[in-house]
Structure 1
Amino acid sequence: MVPDRPALVLLVDDDPASLKLLSEALAGQPLTLAVAVDGEMALRQIRREAPDLVLLDAMMPGMDGFEVCRRLKADPATRDVPVLFMTVLADPTSRVRGLELGAVDYVTKPFVREELVARVRTHLSIRAAAGALSAAVSALSEKNEELARARASLEIEVARRTEELRAANQRLERELELNRAAELRVQKAQNELAHLNRVSAMSELAASIAHELSQPLAAILSNAQAADRLLAQTPPDIVDARAALSDIAADDRRAGMIIQRMRAMLRKGELSVAALDLGEIVREVTRLVASAALLAGTTVRIELAPGLPCVRGDGVQLQQVLLNLLVNALDAVSRRPPEARLVVVRTRPADAGHVELSVADSGEGIPQADLERIFEPFFTSKTHGLGVGLAISRSIVEAHGGRLWAECGPGEGATFRCALPAWNEDTLPAE
């Protein structure tokens, strides 16, 4: 959806009376209506200007709505245009056929005005959210490219400065006495080199930012799909759909918090330490992945030990650690039969004033040789993984004064354990 204009909705129906009823039902909404009276006319209009939503009559003479939808989804230029079928057909075969062709929803004729408006608003909102996500991903990609170019430039500059320092040191070794002015110049050059190294390290955060944001963005998409399915039910599940939309807003705020937290880390270089209820962190993060687990057919079970002390740490960062572990666990069990897909999150007291958080899955496990390698940057067994999630998680846990490790037994899946120090008013925050 283009943000500078109202949403464009194309009404496709060979019945003028039906087009009139649709136009009257949608009158007063913040959108622009266009009409087409047959399939060929609809395809021409869509190719000329892609609408944000197509309300398509399934049964039309000549080219029916199913064929129009098939052609739209076969064309890369129009495959992303959402299609909402309008039909008097009530048999499941017709509905399934439309959904298999790529339609997002159905409205049955004669339609109820309130239901029609609600469905149109919902799919336009989903369309807008998808556009915003695409723009955000493009912006992140451009930023990553800028950071990569900056890093390459910095590496060249560091190499050049290093060579300059080497030459300067050779000249100083040949001199019998070092004067104070030469020492100051060398010290200044060394300080500049250290600064360049720090800036170069900052550029490496590009991969971290992309990985950290991928999970709330994926949660937004998952909740949007869940809301779409809930609204497609008969009758629509409005309560759960609103809950899914609320989750989308919460995940959006979480992505903003992640960016703000990373900026704060770059600026201050220290954690925001507080006393945290580990059980509350578990409940919040498992709520975030609930839709993804539901769509994947995975059971996520929580086992929280009562009366645990608070832990010392940064809430957003510890949430991200658990989120990384849960996403990996969901992926690990995805290749198992649906009845065998189980992820268990536990908390329990640990030794030496620590509290342990663990995430166990019923997946295929991890080879013993890889139990430590999986925490190395860019080591991944996923087809599309970056290989930075576990490395980032271990860095966060160690910065909190804790420890993160993996265990795996034959036929027992994998378990990731995280031991964090309990809160103590007399203990200084971790450096």
Structure 2
Amino acid sequence: MIFQEQMSVPTAEPAPNNSGNLPLILVVDDSPLNLKFLFAALRRTDFKVMVAENGTLGLELAEQHHPDLILLDVMMPGIDGFETCCRLKQNPQTREIPVIFMTALSDTIDKVNGFEVGAADYLTKPVDIPEVIARVRTQLKVANLQKDLRRQNERLAEENEKRRRVQDALRESRGRYRLLAENSTDIISRQTLSGVYQYVSPACHTLLGYDIEEMISKPVLDFVHPDDRKMVEKSTHPGQNCPSTVTFTYRAVCKSGGFIWLETVSKTVCDDKGRPVEIVSVSRDVTDRVELAQKLREHNKELDAFAHTVAHDLKNPVSTVISYTDFLIGAWDKLDEAKIKDFIGNIRSVGQKGLYIIDELMLLATVRKGEVKLHSLDMAAIVTQVLERLELMIQDFDAQITVPESWPTAAGYAPWIEEAWINYLSNAIKYGGRPPRIELGATPQDDGMVRFWVRDNGKGLTAEEQSRLFAEFIRLDEVRVEGHGLGLSIVRRIVDKLGGQVGVESQPGHGSTFWFTLPSAKETA
């Protein structure tokens, strides 16, 4: 029959006046007349149509061609429409295809059964073509909306999954960041653009002594040494370039009232439009490094002064020796033995002066590097030894020296203390009155130290001169007085090493009292 030929071609050609993707309708009915009737009507309405005479063939075509909608007869031989629909809905490839039942059955129970097995709609035979077309178009629209909804749901599910992965990664990143921050020995902080702490890591307690709660919501400058606040404020102020990073070093105030040096790397964080939103900083304790650098600068400064002083003070005796020697060479034949001995004596005296300078340089080097153990000092014996060493100078200057009958016991290192007394006493003799009247003494102090002192009857010192006395390699220059510039700086180094202090008390016209302190022997016992 003619319609049988149509059924042999599963997919019918679209109408000539249509183009594009037309909806594909599968009609399943055991009546060739119904198939031909619906085929023609649907083709005229610009649908692509394929037909099947039974449920088995309908299932095969549905799985192969995935039609957009199925018109399914209920009463068919073999597997009926209910069973066919049930199998369609069980197959993942066809379960989403909307099914419209066509049946002469009008009982409500039959319609309910149809909806229960998955039907989208119901048509009662004999079918009305306009109604068929209307219901088909409605279900296609519904199906398209459901497809769109599924796609949107899939996209949403995919986006949700991506967001979940991002959130998981963010949580993991935050966890690593917090673990790093909470276990770091450096202070990690977040601040507002106005310089207020939003977050501070626990290292703030280790380095500064503050609890986290004591720093949160407080200005950064509250924890900065007053002398460094302007520099820190300028360094942390967001600039025109964002993001920007700056490194600076400053003194941070500890809860105890002291301070430490912090090196801070501060970065301005920006939003996606390049606008600064906050400041993130990492601060490291560099106190040891800064103090070492300061000591190195002081050491280099001392070396410069040392070299200048050595060159200056050794130049005079060396020049004098050369001058005397040149004179003797030129006038040897004209000088008698007494004059020659006199010049040689002068050369020896000047050479001895140079030797003293070298000895003190060696002592200075020893004090700079040496570490000694403190012992109880026999100060009477030490002073006696000093007076013996200075006997010739005392005679030359006709100095009168008063020494106490007894001394309080102090702790120190005898060879170094002897040199301290040598320097103080020789200065008192050289720079004191004419003739020098010198008194030595000692005074126990309430702080467990003993103050030893030398009082002279010299012209005294101004406040400016006093401030320069114990600086490295400074001397009291008097052209007519012998002296070299190392003495007081050596005394200061010696006493510093032994845990004491040095100083002077003086007024112009009233002489000077030079002193040093040492720990009491009772305190070190």
Q: Which has the higher helix share?
A: 1
TM over 0.5: no
What range describes the TM-score normalised by the shorter chain of this pair?
Answer: 0.3 to 0.5
Calculate the TM-score normalised by the size of structure 1.
0.40
Calculate the TM-score normalised by the size of structure 2.
0.34
Which has more radius of gyration? Answer: 2
